[in-house]
Structure 1
Amino acid sequence: MRIIPEMLRGGSALAEDYTQGTGRARDLYEYDVLHADAYAQRAKWLDETEHLRLSRKEVVACLRIYNEQYNSYEAVRASLDRLESPDALVVVGGQQSGLFTGPMLVIYKAVTIIKAAREAEERLGRPVVPVFWIAGEDHDWDEVNHTYVLANDPQAIKIKLKKQPERRSSVSTIKVDAVEWKQAMADIEQSLPDSEHKADILRMIEHGLTDSYGLSEAFAKLLGLLFGDYGLVLLDSADPSLRKLEASVFRQLVQHNDELEQAYRTAAARIVDYGYHLQADVHKDGANLFYIHEDERLLLFKQGGLFTDRRGLVAFTKEELLEEIEIHPERFSNNVLTRPLMQDSLFPVLASVLGLGEIAYWAITRDAFGVLKMQMPILLPRMSFTLLDPGVEKYMLKHELTFGRVRDGLEESKKQWLAAQDQIGIQDQFSGVKEAFARLYEPLVQQTGLIEKGLLRLGETNSKKILGQIAYLEAKVQEALLRQNETALRQWDRIEWSLFPFGQPQERVYTIYHFLNRHGLGLIDIIMNIPTDPAGTHRVIYV
């Protein structure tokens, strides 16, 4: 196995400057991820501020119940035992729950969390527990209800749950019926190519889907099957039991809402002033909280002294909202700007594992941490990979293609290659014939028009028909050339669909089960043995 660093395009300039230690990004964050003393400094601050967070014992008790139900492994129980220790710290990261765990970047984030926790524990000589935050409170159903596998054609096959919720409900509250799970199983069984590992992979997936209420439960069980033995603790942000614990934090978010809004707006202005683009919206008069009304998740704003949604379905004074939190904490949830504050209120977060886009928008939250007397944690970029199968590598070598050329788009390279296979110069020959025909025929047509006007029109029509027939023959010859090189062109397509489906990095499209089906569960161990990289460098794994 070889691992080679390769650049990906389209990352956030702010996040890249942060991970590389360049530009003015450092001023927008609390800690320098590359600084040797960052972990010790953060651990010291956490030790001094234990009283600012929720009861460690109560949080662990809540997590025990959840993990025993969906992630019941000895290593997870051991992690929770360790988390109860007063000196235990946490490395946390999260993602929306997706079908079949969603795109591979989710798996890479989980791997990074586990490995970063281990490395931090060795560096600090104290317990550091890995925690995965399932963002089940999010409501973007269309983003999570599908995934893709790579077919032999080659093309990306979309597997999608057909259910369409009537309201913008939290994903964790949307029920998926048994018949829908059965159809999803049938779809992935049909889509995955036959392999020696397929039966085991399908059994694993079926275990995750069976008796699951919805996507978040299935997601949790599948993550547990992959990482439970590594001690990865799971939580669902939509867990009603967790919501009860979080009530006091929601009260703070309401009581200090104006200060928090100003902090977000000030930070956003600073980011733009430094020459970076904002990665998240900072709404004027935004409360940055959601309220769940009749199963619909409504974003709250401040208007006329009230907390209300854009459609006016609900309206509360500050006092009424605080009372509602006390009675029904399960009706509240965070948005992207308050979730980091909730996360650090629950856990002694040493570091948070994030994608580059997340690192960029977290810069908006730095001052907000200070409003609640907290500090932004160390931010670690998740690991980023492209898995390159031997067959695809063979095709790339055959056609002299580098990862960079594939990344930058193959269409022009493919056209040039196909043109080189044209031994008779089809385009030039036919262009010459059409030019010669026009040169010889046009004067003749003009002369016939001198004899009778109608012959001129007839000659022009006849000319168009003949040119059309020549073009028809040219198209047929081009089709024959494509058929002659069909096998090689499929190789080009295989390269493109393997590495950059839909023009996107592989890790953002395919489910990990496509590759587990090909390489077996040992692939997880291979990825787990790759060192983390604080710079977040993308790496190609030649499997």
Structure 2
Amino acid sequence: MPTDCISYQESGYFSSLINDYLNEKPELKALYHRFPNMENFKLQLEEKGNNFNGSGKLKREVLVSVLEKQYDSIVTSETTLNNIKLLNNSNTFTVTTGHQLNLFTGPLYFLYKIVSTINLCKQLKKEFPENNFVPIYWMATEDHDFEEINYFSLHGKKISWNKNTSGPVGRLSTEGLENVFDVFELEIGHGDNAKSLKELFKKAYIEHATLAYATRYLANELFKNEGLVVIDADDTDLKKSFIPFIKNELLQQTAFAKVNETTPLLESYSVQVNPREINLFYIEDNLRERIVFENGKYSVLNTKLTFSEQEILKEVENHPEKFSPNVLLRPLYQEVILPNLCYIGGGGELAYWLELKSFFESQQVTFPIVLLRNSVLLATEKQASKADKLQLTWRDLFLNQQELLNQKTKLLSDFTIDFSTQKEALKKQFEELHKLAQATDKSFLGAVKAQETKQIKGLENLEKRLLKAEKRVHQEQLNRIISLQNELFPNQSLQERKVNFSEFYVEFGVELIEKLLNELKPLEKEFKVVVL
């Protein structure tokens, strides 16, 4: 079985920004507060404790009260209930990940985010036993991009929930998901694990009224024994703590100014999110539209709603739940209401967090440690055995498919498919002609250079043709390599972004979750291969 490991940086699947962040490139240090390591977590604990616990006692009480209400309708573990109570204590901190309300978890990395968060809490507890650490899954209930979350893939088939929607997705009725269940039931097959999955889907989506309640139930069932706490921040009491920051955004538009100040530091990378002058939406059950300031008035786009400054400030005071932070303001909201040390997210999420440090400083809110979630390639024992027989390492399988085939063809061939020696010999032959050409007419020098280029090109073409011919000779072996790589990297992309967890759960059951919990180490910068 292949045993080599591969770093995120070597995997070829992360942006230059994330690679440079992981490498702690000095030019990026101004964009984050502390890099994720144990020594820095000690400092983060002290700072967050000092900055949160003074005014944080009331925030903690509100947070616990809201969570207890949200959990009132579902049966959960004593571990989770105890973690909620612990949030009242000044020595309790959170580690948070966030995710959209993807149907039936969406792609596999939903699991990896949460397992990373749980495992970091366990690691922190060992290191700092006098403190408590609670893993938080922040549901993106206020998002409105339904098309991004209304499906999942199973055995290469897209299972979709078709519905006309508007407004925040967390408030969506689950009506119509019976039809999705019928498709899922046929596709998932039979057996004890299939039966468990069907029951899980049915209880989550058919027996709960909204998508937020369904997603909370689902995440709780998968991770309740690990003490996971799921939070829906689309809540009036939680938003009350955020009122001063909502007002600041409406009146001062600080986020726009501070993020734009940061953008030049990212000029050699692609900027993930561009700020708006006002980074707030106005929401109701069937409405989520941007707030803009035009002609001395605040307006809600695509509606007739308008407010004077005095009117909108009054609306904030009376109905803070109607003001929803966008992708740039949501992190601030999270850090205001949670005693949070660290945010765990994917590469795209970390990219926009790295735009926000200056804005956080302007709001006098501690900027959290930001940690790249674990990435995982799941493989079966059978696939690992195939890789061994084909003399493939995991590092090989991460290669671009054409590059992999070229490398393996050269290894399988009985002779060297590399004309570097011939090219060097040719260049030496032309050195004498170049000397001769220097002493005569310039037109002859041009002819020599052209002939050299032509002959080098001819050798390169012969090398390509020889490689192509050898691929035909070894086609059977190469086809097996292609087949294995395609199994592990569907559509030549990351498995974790395409495949739903049920595809593995139906075969391995709870062992899937247990294996991830045992093997994922959030502070190691390694793309983990987990063999089931």
TM-score, normalised relative to structure 1: 0.78
Residues 39 and 350, structure 1, Cα contact 8 Å, conserved in 2: yes
How far apart are residue 3 of structure 1 and its match? 6.6
CA shift in 2, pair 1:12/1:303, >3 Å: farther
Relative distance call for 1:396 and 1:189 in structure 2 (3 A) is farther
Match of 1:21 among 24, 45, 56: 24
Number of the residue aligned with 1:278: 271
The reply on whether 1:317 has 2:308 as its aligned counterpart is: yes
- 1:68 is matched with 72
**Structure 2 counterpart of 1:341:** 332
Partner of 1:456: none
Partner of residue 264 from structure 1, selected from 255, 259, 265 = 259
Displacement, 1:220? Answer: 1.3
1:137 alignment partner, one of 115, 135, 142 = 142
Using the TM superposition, give the Cα deviation of residue 244 of structure 1 relative to its aligned residue in structure 2, in angstroms. Answer: 4.7
Equivalent residue, structure 1, for 2:247: 251
2:206 paired with 1:206: no
Deviation at 1:300, TM superposition (A): 2.3
* Residue of structure 2 in register with 1:380 after alignment: 371
Match of 2:187 in 1: 191
CA contact 1:70–1:217 (8 Å) conserved in 2: no
**8 Å contact from structure 1 (residues 97, 135) kept in 2:** yes
Kindly tell me the number of residue pairs found equivalent between the two proteins: 464
Q: Distance in 1 between matches of 2:2 and 2:180?
A: 34
One-letter amino acid matched to 2:54? H
Residues 99 and 110 of structure 2 are in contact (CA less than 8 Å); yes or no, is this contact kept in structure 1? yes
Which residue type is aligned with residue 384 of structure 2?
E
Alignment correspondent of 1:170: 168
> C-alpha displacement at 1:105, in angstroms?
0.8
Alignment partners' CA distance in 2, 1:101 and 1:109: 11
Does structure 1 retain, via aligned residues, the 8 Å contact 2:519–2:530?
no
CA distance in 1, matches of 2:372, 2:506: 28
CA deviation after TM superposition for structure 1 residue 516, in Å? 0.9
Distance (whole Å) between structure 1 residues aligned to residue 153 and residue 256 of structure 2: 39
CA contact (8 A) 2:291 2:300 kept: yes
Match of 1:5 in 2: 5
From 502, 507, 526, give the equivalent of 2:491.
502
Instruction: Note if contact 1:4-1:540 (Cα within 8 Å) is conserved in structure 2.
Output: no
Identity of aligned residues (%): 24
Distance across 2 between alignment mates of 1:240 and 1:205:
29
Is the contact between residue 11 and residue 357 of structure 1 (CA under 8 Å) also seen in structure 2? no
* Aligned match for 1:232, one of 215, 228, 233: 228
The counterpart of 1:112, out of the listed 113, 116, 132, is 116
Structure 1: segments with no counterpart, 5+ residues: 151-155, 419-480
3-state DSSP of counterpart to 2:354: helix
Cα distance in structure 1, aligned partners of 2:92 and 2:115: 20
Bigger mean CA deviation after superposition, 87-96 or 66-75: 66-75
Which of 31, 43, 50 is 1:48 aligned to? 50
Tell me the CA shift for residue 191 of structure 1.
1.9
Residue matched to 2:422: none
Tell me the residue number matched to 1:149: 154
Letter in 2 for 1:506: Q
CA displacement, residues 462-486 of structure 1 (integer Å, 9 cap, x when unaligned) = xxxxxxxxxxxxxxxxxxx9xx98x
The question of whether the paired residues in 1 share the 8 Å contact of 2:74 and 2:217 is answered with yes
* Aligned residue runs from structure 1 range 430-469, under 5 A: none
The whole-number CA distance in structure 1 between the counterparts of 2:491 and 2:513 is 25
Q: Does 1:181 align with 2:177?
A: yes
Cα RMSD after superposing both structures:
2.9
3-state SS of the aligned residue for 1:69?
coil
Once residues 309 and 78 of structure 1 are traced to their aligned partners in structure 2, the CA distance between those partners, rounded to angstroms, is 42
1:163 shift after superposition: 1.5
Q: Give, in whole Å, the separation in 2 of the partners of 1:307 and 1:23.
A: 42
Equivalent residue for 2:159? 159
The reply to whether residue 31 of structure 1 matches residue 34 of structure 2 is yes
CA 416–44 in structure 1, closer or farther in 2 if over 3 Å, else same: closer
Query: 1:153 maps to which residue?
Result: none
- The unaligned stretches of length 5 or more in structure 2 are 410-471
Change over 3 Å in CA distance of 1:2–1:221 after alignment to 2: farther
Q: 1:307: which partner in 2? A: 298
Q: Assess, with a 3 A threshold, how the Cα gap between structure 1 residues 52 and 299 changes in structure 2: closer, same or farther.
A: farther
Instruction: Report the AA paired with residue 313 of structure 2.
Output: L
| Preserved contact between residue 97 and residue 113 of structure 2 (Cα < 8 Å) | yes
Which residue of the partner structure matches residue 396 of structure 1? 387
Task: Give the conservation status (yes or no) of the 8 Å contact 1:220–1:234.
Answer: yes
The correspondence for 1:530, drawn from 489, 495, 519, is: 519
Match of 2:466 in 1: none
Alpha-carbon deviation of 1:2?
7.8
Which aligned pairs between 1:473-492 and structure 2 lie closer than 5 A?
none
- Whether the 8 Å contact between 1:130 and 1:232 is mirrored in structure 2 is yes
Amino acid of the structure 2 residue aligned with 1:39: F
Q: Mean Cα displacement is larger for which, 57-66 or 386-395?
A: 386-395
Amino acid at match of 2:78: E
Provide, for residues 121-140 of structure 1, a one-character-per-residue CA deviation record: whole Å limited to 9, x for no partner.
Answer: 22222111111100110011
| Paired amino acid for 1:148 | S
In the alignment, is the contact (CA less than 8 A) between 1:268 and 1:282 conserved in 2?
Answer: no
Amino acid of the structure 1 residue aligned with 2:110: V
- Structure 1, 368-377 or 290-299: larger mean CA deviation: 290-299
Counterpart of 2:105? 101
Where 1:91 maps in the other structure, the secondary structure is strand
CA distance in 2, matches of 1:412, 1:532: 30
| 78-87 or 181-190, which deviates more | 181-190
Pair 1:170–1:128, CA change in 2 (3 A)? same
Letter aligned with residue 269 of structure 1: P
SS at structure 1 position matched to 2:231: strand
CA contact (8 A) 2:360 2:366 kept: yes
Distance in 2 (alpha carbons) for counterparts of 1:330 and 1:112: 30
Q: Quick one: which amino acid aligns to residue 84 of structure 1?
A: N
- State whether residues 48 and 366 of structure 2, in contact with CA within 8 Å, keep that contact through their aligned partners in structure 1: no
* Worse overlay, 4-13 or 24-33: 4-13
Counterpart residue number, 1:459: none
Shift of 1:195: 4.6
Asked if residue 516 in structure 1 is aligned to residue 516 in structure 2, the reply is no
CA contact (8 A) 2:2 2:392 kept: no
Distance in 1 separating the partners of 2:483 and 2:169:
34
